[in-house]
Amino acid sequence: MVSKVIMLVVFAALMIIIGVVTRKNSTDVNGFVLGGRSVGPWMTAFAYGTSYFSAVVFIGYAGQFGWSYGLAATWIGIGNAVIGSLLPWIILGNRTRIMTKAMNVSTMPEFFEKRYNSKSLKIAAAMIVFLFLIPYTASVYNGLSTLFNSAFPSVPYNVWIIIMAVFTAIYVILGGYKATAVNDFVQGIVMLIGIAAVVICAVQAKDGLSGVYEGLGLVNANSPHGTFNSILGPDPLNLIGVIILTSLGTWGLPQMVQKFYAIKDKPSVKRGAIISTFFAVVVAGGSYFLGGLGRLFCTTDAAESGKSLIQILANGKPDFDTMVPAILNSSVPDFLFGLVVVLVLSASMSTLAGLVLSSSSTMTIDLIKPFVKKGMSEKKQVLVMRIFILVFLIISVLIAANKQALNDMGINISALMGISWGTLAGSFLAPFLYGLFSKKITKAAVWVSLITGVGVTVASMVLFNLGLFPELTAKAASFSIGGYGFNLASPVNWGAITMILGLIEVPVVSAITGAKKAEKESEELFECYSVKE
């Protein structure tokens, strides 16, 4: 307990010190939101990686999908590294940096306004960002507090939520993007060391890799299509849905692509791609591999001795969010558990920082500033952003604090993230990606993408995730394709579906609604790619 407390105090003090030191770089909007567009490859890559992976992945997703897919869950981490890290850096990184700099934009909604010449698109996108980043932030608090409750059982869950919110607010409000980037670099190093150490301990606790493989092969979970140590696992279709959501989703998330706005030059993008991919292989690959060991450490049967008892929720399912903490309690020494607490805190603080910064900058720049008749000075904009950081955190804390009510509806960490990522990436991915490369994308196509992203996600949530139609939810959950199950009640799968729909419908709608006219209107804008830097 003493070692855990010492680690936490040192870590919290370091975060606040960095916030104070970097405060001088956050006096104007460009500095507060983008760090002056001068952030190098190491800090940008670590900022990207630490914003990507948080308690949501380490606690929620690794626990639930490790339990569901066994060792095959590691494919999610590999997909995150290749599709979610390497490819967006290579494909989006430099073009995003060049175009956003040429248009002088700081947020995703601003990008839509200037790329498609539409203020109404900016307002709609800004509302989507603010509303649907909240469930993701709540899911991060949920994961963080679950782990902290396991490490410090005498402290109530809601107390941890408030403590995390306070620390996030302090260092983001003080230092803005530069503070988050420096902290992300420090936090990223902690994450790399911590994940590697935890995985090694967990594997050794089960007699090495051969013991893990043999143990998972003996698990009998009535799966007709494979075992928990097979290459694709027992449930390949739903596994693909998770890979698409968690990997392709980064291409359209405001808090992720905004990292490319801030990077300073093309060589930094190339180096950042390598660093970010390595980071994802270790952190995401290690997290999902660790989650895949869940059935060796956890059980829902109290009669089985020597294993951790996992709580059964009101919906009849195991409490997936407590599985990774149970693995840690069973396999790592106390001092290492303290490092893991700091590890998850590191990951989550950086993710929270990225989320609140994206949300507050969007509200200020895209929704409030345009309606202030006398205009807003740089100083006033930064002040309003800081106020919205607090508002955003308070709303997220209130949602996360109602964990029991969420669990009763079957909404756990992965469901909250699925709702958030599905809406945001489903709405933004296609118009952002095509908007960087094609002159033929129309405003009408972007509107269709936004409506589809929000409409499909909200409709699926109402039908399947609020407990309003239990019979329909049961039928959707048991849906199958070619004899393999595909859970149509899952927010994760619906998130993947909205992204694919957007990639198909945007070019089709553009072709129907005036692609040639859009091409002429965007000729001048695309000249930024031919300018020598």
State the pLDDT at residue 431: 96
Residue 153 one-letter amino acid: P
Tell me how far apart the alpha carbons of residues 372 and 527 are, in angstroms, rounded to a whole number.
Answer: 32
3-state SS class at 318: strand
Paired strand residues for 298: 308
Query: Cα-Cα-Cα-Cα dihedral of 221, 226, 229, 232, to 10°?
Result: -130
- For residue 365 the two structure tokens come to 């720049």
Residues contacting residue 57 through CB under 8 Å, at least 6 positions apart: 246, 283, 284, 287, 288, 347
Backbone φ and ψ of 264, nearest 5°: -85, -30
Tell me how far apart the alpha carbons of residues 502 and 462 are, in angstroms, rounded to a whole number.
Answer: 21
State the pLDDT at residue 302: 45
Backbone φ and ψ of 499, nearest 5°: -65, -45
Angle at 165 between CA 160 and CA 166, to 5 degrees: 100
pLDDT for 76-127, tens place per residue?
Answer: 999 999 999 999 999 999 999 999 989 988 888 889 999 999 989 988 998 8
Query: Residue 336's closest CA among 212, 209, 184, 204?
Result: 204
Query: Residue 109's closest CA among 506, 452, 513, 450?
Result: 450
CATH architecture for segment(s) 40-401: Up-down Bundle (1.20)
Angle at 78 between CA 282 and CA 129, to 5 degrees: 90
The widest CA-to-CA distance across the chain, in whole angstroms, is 71
Tell me how far apart the alpha carbons of residues 114 and 460 are, in angstroms, rounded to a whole number.
Answer: 32
Residue 489 one-letter amino acid: A
**Bridging pattern class, strands 308-309 and 298-299:** parallel
- Eight-state DSSP code of residue 298: E
- For residue 355 the two structure tokens come to 């989320």
3-state SS class at 305: coil
State the pLDDT at residue 137: 75
**Regions of the chain with pLDDT less than 70:** 1, 3-4, 15, 18-40, 55, 141, 143-148, 150-151, 157, 168, 171-181, 183, 221-226, 299-317, 335, 343, 345-357, 373-374, 400, 403-414, 533
State the pLDDT at residue 306: 44
Taking residue 218's Cβ as centre, other Cβ atoms within 10 Å add up to 11
3-state SS class at 331: helix
Query: Residue 437's closest CA among 499, 362, 533, 529?
Result: 529
pLDDT for 407-465, tens place per residue?
Answer: 665 566 667 778 888 899 999 999 999 999 999 999 999 999 999 999 999 899 889 87
Residues contacting residue 370 through CB under 8 Å, at least 6 positions apart: 119, 122
